[in-house]
Amino acid sequence: MKIIHCADLHLDSKMETNLSVAQAKERKKEILNTFERMVDYAHTHGVTVIIIAGDMFDTPQVFGSTKSRVLNTITKYPQIDFLYLSGNHDESNFIEALDEVPSNLKIFGVNWTTFSYPEVKITGVVLSDANRKTLYDTLRLSPDDLNIVVMHGQIGQSNSAKQSETIYLNQLKNKQIDYLALGHVHSYTQGQLDRRGVYCYAGCLEGRGFDECGAKGFVLLNIDHGTIQSEFVPFAKRTLIELPVDITPYQDWFALEDHIVALAKKYPTKDLLKVVLQGKYKIQLEKHLAMLEQKLSGFYFAKVKDESVLAVTPEDVANDISLRGEFIRQVLGSSLSASEKEQTILMGLRALGGEDL
């Protein structure tokens, strides 16, 4: 038996942070497409259950067109069960607004609900303020069954935090869980729960911003002879990549540009790239950030973030008796912050060089 564990689809996300209006619209469509592609994959790979561990939608208000595409996808494959747990973003509006719930769309509620299959029992609960303390005591699983448990929230070790979103892993130990299918964390993460089981966040299907970099996809579970094998399947249409570059060794901007362009060649141009300049640079390095962005414009999206700092010390200009040397010594000796000093020195040097400010 094969099962897909996915989560955090955030359908209908706005996507406007970095992208143009047209690209944001396109990415929004792509996220929905990736969900549909995943369901097609399930069909062609003999998957019979898809667990959606929360945050299927980004906001409680779901566009009618999105809702009907999701419903069509679900009803297109009646032999696949969709086990849906609402997360902290989507609440239960999607289900409540349905005239008729398709028979293969099965829903977890605020009490433990179990869906039984010959090879596995899948049990889940939606966290709420009312149940967050009692749910651990009310979970009863048989050691003789293969058990998947579905929840949405942030794992924590103690019971001290107050948020209803916290899942206390310690209290799920020795509960006969074989696989804890989680949603909430947007990157694939797996760890040992106890001697018997593992916990796993599937992550989101598509990264939306540069806080969601790296491979995104779903987890494919293969159940065979009473054991669960799990495998992360990268599935996103586009990946967001953060590329840190230490510019310390470079005094020539064009050599640095060549270096960055060569590094960027490792990634497909369909992806979204953020180059982060780091390290300490000398005054001699003249930066042309817009030109670098232009050179990376073959990517679906590219931007350059400059986090590098100017490395000039009083020793560097100790013997410089020019106005420039005096100016730098004055600024370095002032009470300005490090970034203010950097800005002031750069502006001052440009002014001394006769450039427009």
Q: Which two tokens stand for residue 143?
A: 């050691």
Query: Distance of alpha carbon 143 from its chain centroid, rounded?
Result: 34
Q: Least separation, in Å, of the C-beta of 96 and Mn ion?
A: 20
- Which is nearer to Mn ion, 55 or 178 (by Cβ)? 55
Q: CB of 11 within 8 A of CB of 62?
A: yes
CA distances from 252 to 175, 243, 249, 261, 262 (A): 61, 20, 9, 15, 16
Q: Least separation, in Å, of the C-beta of 229 and Mn ion?
A: 26
Residue nearest to Mn ion (CB): 55
Q: Least separation, in Å, of the C-beta of 305 and Mn ion?
A: 25
Q: Least separation, in Å, of the C-beta of 294 and Mn ion?
A: 35
- Which is nearer to Mn ion, 175 or 208 (by Cβ)? 208
Q: How are strands ordered across the β-sheet holding 240-246?
A: 240-246, 272-278, 301-306
Length of the chain: 357
- Which is nearer to Mn ion, 7 or 125 (by Cβ)? 7
Q: How far apart are CA 110 and CA 82, in angstroms?
A: 18
- Which is nearer to Mn ion, 199 or 299 (by Cβ)? 199
Encode burial over 292-327: b for 16+ CB neighbours within 10 A, e otherwise. Answer: beebbeebbbbbbeeebebebeeeebeeeeeebeeb
Give 191's strand partners. Answer: 199
Q: Rule CB under 5 A: which residues touch Mn ion?
A: 8, 55
- Which is nearer to Mn ion, 153 or 223 (by Cβ)? 153
- Which is nearer to Mn ion, 18 or 59 (by Cβ)? 59
Q: Least separation, in Å, of the C-beta of 185 and Mn ion?
A: 8
User: Mind giving me the DSSP string for 68-88?
Assistant: HHHHHHHHH-TTSEEEEE--T
- Which is nearer to Mn ion, 8 or 271 (by Cβ)? 8
Q: CB of 44 within 8 A of CB of 92?
A: no
Contacts with 357 (C-beta within 8 Å, 6 or more apart), sequence order: 347, 350, 351
Q: Least separation, in Å, of the C-beta of 172 and Mn ion?
A: 20
Q: Least separation, in Å, of the C-beta of 33 and Mn ion?
A: 19
